[in-house]
């Protein structure tokens, strides 16, 4: 009887312990299953985000967002700070006038200075397609460097300083040594540039059209540089705009630029400029603008590659004498110093 009572007392406690064990085991099993499932769900999402960033880099701009703007804003601020320091230190820079080729584009909330051989044709083609439809007819007229397209766009843009107060002010610049190679390949080798007629006379070389001159020598790159040196060392302003120092044409101290773009990073700088000018622009519209700009009649990649494909641009300078190089450095020194380019084209990239 006593034994029966003993078991009768123990039984409820055992049942309670078994129920408690069962409940906790089910809870931890469910918790572990939920955690494992959540982890298994996270990894594909992270991979998808990474893939999205990589794919959108060339197709859209949505994923570049804050990181790109932050990096570019910091770089731009440093460049503007450097320019300001040089402007305070050098009277010659301060005296350069506001450029006459700073065009106000209210549709895009920007004022843009165009410089020859720094994707200027890409810009005027972009503007024709996005805000100056009356110039669209000239997109199919590539002869003589799209001269009629340039003329139409510029004739329909305002240059008054009163109308640029609310705009961001932009200029794109380029490595001066690559720019000279680009000018030589595009204007001298292909077109026998009419503005370089004095160089042909200087070297007693016929400046016939390219179609008529297959058996006649063209200017060599060194001959071309020698002409630039001889004319530019007296007054660089006498040089043709295609190879005139860039700083002389955009007034780095007087124009009040808010943004400096570089041709070498134009894909990112274009996004940075457009988002700075129009902070509320949608990713869809910005992607559309990128397609227009980079798919235009004179693609910026082709302009960049003018100085780099076929031969690396440094190879053009391999036989340039030290004396000639020193004269060119004196002409283009401010393009180098203001925007952080190399003083000598053969200097290795650090």
Closest among 157, 140, 138 to 149, alpha carbons compared: 138
Lowest mean pLDDT across 171-175, 280-284, 341-345, 346-350: 346-350
pLDDT of residue 31: 43
As a whole number, mean pLDDT of residues 240-250 equals 95
CA distances from 60 to 69, 88, 255, 290 (A): 15, 40, 32, 8
What does the pLDDT read at residue 40?
Answer: 37
The DSSP letter of residue 173 is: E
Mean pLDDT of the chain: 80
Report d(CA 313, CA 74) in Å as an integer. 29
Least confident window among 92-96, 204-208, 344-348: 204-208
Most confident of 76-85, 99-108, 210-219, 292-301: 76-85
Task: Give a three-class secondary structure readout of 104-135.
Answer: EEHHHCEEEECCCCCCHHHHHHHHHHHCCHHH
Tell me, what's the pLDDT at 194? Answer: 76
Q: Band the pLDDT of 243: cuts 50, 70, 90.
A: very high
Mean pLDDT of 203-213: 71
- Percent of the chain at pLDDT > 90 equals 53
124 contacts 277 by C-beta, under 8 angstroms: no
Residue with tokens 């204007």: 187
Given this model, what pLDDT does residue 59 score?
Answer: 43
Q: Give me the mean pLDDT over the 123-145 stretch.
A: 83
Q: Please report how many Cα atoms fall inside a 13 Å half-sphere around the Cα of residue 145, on the Cβ side.
A: 19
Phi, psi of 261 (to 5 degrees): -105, 155
16 has pLDDT over 60? no
**Token output for 78:** 């440093």
Query: Is beta strand 110-113 parallel, antiparallel or unpaired with respect to 102-105?
Result: antiparallel
* pLDDT of residue 262 exceeding 90: yes
Taking residues 44-67, what's their average pLDDT?
Answer: 41
pLDDT of 150 > 70? The answer is yes
Return the ∠ at Cα 176 (arms to 175 and 182), rounded to 5°: 90
Rounded CA separation 71/154 (Å): 32
298-318 tens-digit pLDDT: 555 555 554 454 458 899 999
Res. 30: pLDDT tops 80? no
pLDDT at 153: 93
For residue 81, what pLDDT is reported? Answer: 96
DSSP 251-268: -TTTS--SEEEEGGGHHH
> Distances in Å between the alpha carbon of 76 and those of 70, 258, 259, 269?
10, 8, 6, 10
Mean pLDDT value across residues 188-198: 80
**What mean pLDDT do residues 216-241 have?**
91
Q: What is the pLDDT of residue 211?
A: 54
- Taken in order 204, 207, 212, 218, the sign of the CA dihedral is positive
Centre a 10 Å sphere on the Cβ of residue 79 and count the other Cβ atoms it contains: 19
Q: What is the pLDDT of residue 155?
A: 92
> Is the predicted pLDDT of residue 53 greater than 50, yes or no?
no
Residue 141: pLDDT band (50, 70, 90) is low
87: pLDDT strictly greater than 50: yes
- Give the burial string for 163-193 (b: 16+ CB within 10 Å, else e): ebeebbbbbbbbbbbbbbbbbbbbbbeeebb
- Confidence band of 246 (pLDDT split at 50, 70, 90): very high
* Helix or strand holding residue 286 (H, E): helix 283-294
Give residue 37's pLDDT: 39
pLDDT exceeds 70 at position 65 = no
Per-residue pLDDT, 190: 81
In whole angstroms, what is the distance from residue 98 CA to residue 111 CA? Answer: 12
What the block records as the tokens of 325 is 């190089």
Query: Predicted confidence band at 259 (pLDDT cuts at 50, 70, 90)?
Result: very high
- Asked whether residue 51 carries a pLDDT value surpassing 50, the answer given is no
Task: Please give the residue that has the higher pLDDT: either 16 or 236.
Answer: 236
Report residue 85's pLDDT band, with 50, 70 and 90 as the boundaries: very high
List, in sequence order, the alpha helices (H) in 60-196: 65-89, 91-94, 120-130, 143-155, 176-183
Tokens 């060392």 correspond to 233
pLDDT tens profile 172-182: 999 999 999 99
């Amino acid at each position: 009887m006593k034994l029966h009572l003993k078991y009768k007392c123990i039984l409820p406690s055992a049942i309670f312990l078994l129920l408690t064990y069962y409940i906790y085991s089910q809870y931890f099993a469910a918790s572990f299953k939920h955690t494992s499932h959540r982890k298994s769900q996270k990894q594909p999402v992270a991979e998808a985000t990474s893939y999205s960033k990589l794919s959108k880099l060339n197709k859209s701009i949505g994923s570049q967002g804050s990181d790109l703007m932050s990096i570019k804003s910091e770089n731009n601020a440093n460049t503007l700070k450097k320019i300001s320091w040089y402007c305070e230190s050098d009277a010659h820079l301060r005296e350069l006038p506001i450029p006459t080729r700073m065009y106000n584009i209210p549709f895009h909330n920007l004022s843009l200075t165009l410089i020859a051989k720094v994707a200027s044709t890409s810009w005027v083609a972009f503007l024709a397609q996005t805000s100056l439809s009356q110039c669209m007819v000239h997109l199919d007229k590539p002869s003589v460097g799209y001269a009629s397209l340039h003329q139409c766009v510029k004739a329909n843009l305002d240059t008054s300083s009163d109308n640029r107060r609310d705009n961001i002010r932009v200029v794109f610049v380029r490595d001066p040594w690559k720019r000279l190679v680009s000018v030589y390949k595009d204007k001298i080798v292909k077109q026998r540039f009419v503005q370089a007629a004095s160089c042909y006379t200087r070297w007693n070389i016929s400046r016939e059209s390219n179609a008529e001159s297959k058996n006649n020598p063209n200017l060599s790159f060194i001959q071309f540089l020698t002409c630039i040196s001889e004319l530019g060392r007296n007054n660089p302003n006498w040089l043709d705009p295609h190879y005139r120092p860039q700083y002389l044409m955009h007034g780095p101290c007087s124009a009040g630029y808010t943004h400096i773009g570089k041709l070498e990073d134009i894909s990112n700088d274009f996004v940075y400029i457009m988002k700075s000018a129009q902070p509320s622009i949608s990713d869809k519209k910005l992607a559309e603008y990128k397609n227009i700009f980079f798919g235009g009649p004179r693609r910026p990649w082709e302009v960049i590659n003018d100085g780099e494909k076929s031969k690396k641009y440094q190879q053009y300078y391999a036989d340039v004498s030290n004396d000639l190089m020193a004269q060119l450095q004196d002409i283009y020194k401010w393009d180098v110093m203001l925007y952080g380019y190399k003083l000598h084209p053969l200097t290795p990239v650090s």
